[in-house]
Amino acid sequence: MKLIDSHSASFTFRPRVPALHFIPMDRLVYLLVSLFLCTALTVTPAQAFLGGLFKKGKEKKVLSAEELASQESRASAILQKAQNSEQSGRKRQARDLYRSIVKTYPRTDSAGEALFRSARIREAEGDGKRAFDDYQTLMTSYRNSEHFNEAVERQFAIAESFRNSNKKGFLGLGAPIQPSKLIEMFQQISKTAPQSNFAPKSLISVGHIYSKQGSAEEAIAAYQKVVDTYPNTSFATEAQYAIFKLRGVKAKKSNSPVEDRAQVEAGLDFVNQNPNDARTQEVKTGLDSIEERAAEKNYNTGLAYEKRGKFVSARVYYRDLVKNPNSKWAAKAQERLRIMDQAEARDSVDNQAKFFGVLPRKKDKIEMRTSSDDVVPIPADEGSGTSN
């Protein structure tokens, strides 16, 4: 028997691993993909939150009639307890109980009632923003609630209180609510309850907010939506009048007569569609002043073109004014046209003079030859002689 000397030789154990080139390609791809999926799908504590998000997307369990009746019974008992607390003056305790019903038994009729009462408490506490959100949840999740119309009314009242608040803050900071958020609140009301009177009222309020910010085009768009969506209503009349006034603000700030024409069109729309409105006469009177203002702008524009030597453009504005002889600007425009005609006539004569030669000035005297003494002798040719 032969012994192995540990000092003269060494032995290393190597497990037999199949070479990759002996593994079929499809099998190799399968193993690599499986390894990647196992690694990627390993759930760590940091990923547990994402798992919770995916669970929220799952469909809710359908309750049987017995389960729903049982939940309704428990929710009703808590609702009664919350109402007792509210009547006893323990508002905070009542609000917490109402919130627990909405969270634990959201499919019950008691949940809608609890959500409405919770919103009322928050509104009374001065937490208008959260109360508004609660009313919104009620209208979207419990549309059959008997409090639907009241919730819409309360939402509008909350939004209007923010809009009319005197607390403005500094640079928007410290204000009860930002204008963009307030516009969003009114827009939610108009979309959630489009058939209610608070929908056009909300859109008009949106127009008022934009107008106050100086965003005239956005304000006009909000008012116009009321006119188009709720025609032949008092809300449409109010919106049309607001458009007429706002067009006037824009026109006064602009040197272009285009804005004046836009206000005239808005005024005519108001007069034609609301002949019996108390403000119709006011609008008619305003139309006359608008025409006068537009005429003045046309005259000034023509004058500016004339000073720059753009006579063709100037004539366009002057001739447009002459079409209305009752305006004082018509006479002024006619005078400018006369002066321009005279100037062009002089320019025409001067151009002819340049072509045919310089015309003599009045102070120059044209002398005529009267005798032979005035004739200068013709000099003899240089280099020629004369015999005596």
> Measured between alpha carbons, how far is 234 from 240 in angstroms, rounded to an integer?
10
Provide the pLDDT for residue 37: 55
**Predicted confidence band of residue 60 (pLDDT cuts 50, 70, 90):** low
Provide the pLDDT for residue 328: 87
Token digits for 129? 């923003």
pLDDT digits (tens, 9 = 90+) for 161-194: 999 987 765 545 556 789 999 999 999 999 999 9
By C-alpha distance, which of 145, 83, 108, 154 is closest to 98?
Answer: 83
Of 32-46, 259-273, 291-305, 344-358, which gets the smallest average pLDDT?
32-46
Taking residue 46's Cβ as centre, other Cβ atoms within 10 Å add up to 7
Residue 77 confidence (pLDDT) above 60? yes
pTM: 0.68
pLDDT digits (tens, 9 = 90+) for 359-378: 555 444 433 334 444 443 44
> Measured between alpha carbons, how far is 265 from 262 in angstroms, rounded to an integer?
5
By C-alpha distance, which of 209, 207, 200 is closest to 175?
Answer: 209
> Burial letters for 323-345: b for 16+ Cβ neighbours within 10 Å, e otherwise?
eeeebebbebbeebbeebeeeee
More confident residue, 375 or 14: 14
**Predicted confidence band of residue 35 (pLDDT cuts 50, 70, 90):** low
Residue 53 confidence (pLDDT) above 90? no
Cβ-in-10-Å burial (0-12, 13-18, 19+) of 156 comes to buried
Provide the pLDDT for residue 155: 98
**Predicted confidence band of residue 135 (pLDDT cuts 50, 70, 90):** very high
Provide the pLDDT for residue 384: 44
**Predicted confidence band of residue 56 (pLDDT cuts 50, 70, 90):** very low
Provide the pLDDT for residue 26: 61
Residue 134 confidence (pLDDT) above 90? yes
Provide the pLDDT for residue 305: 92
Average model confidence (pLDDT) for the chain? Answer: 81
Tell the CATH topology of 69-162: 1.25.40
Residue 82 confidence (pLDDT) above 80? yes
Query: Which residues make beta-bridge pairs with 173?
Result: 170
How wide is the angle at C-alpha 178 spanned by C-alphas 163 and 130, nearest 5°?
80
Q: Within 13 A of 241's CA, how many CA atoms are on the CB side?
A: 16
Radius of gyration of the chain, Cα coordinates, nearest whole angstrom? 45
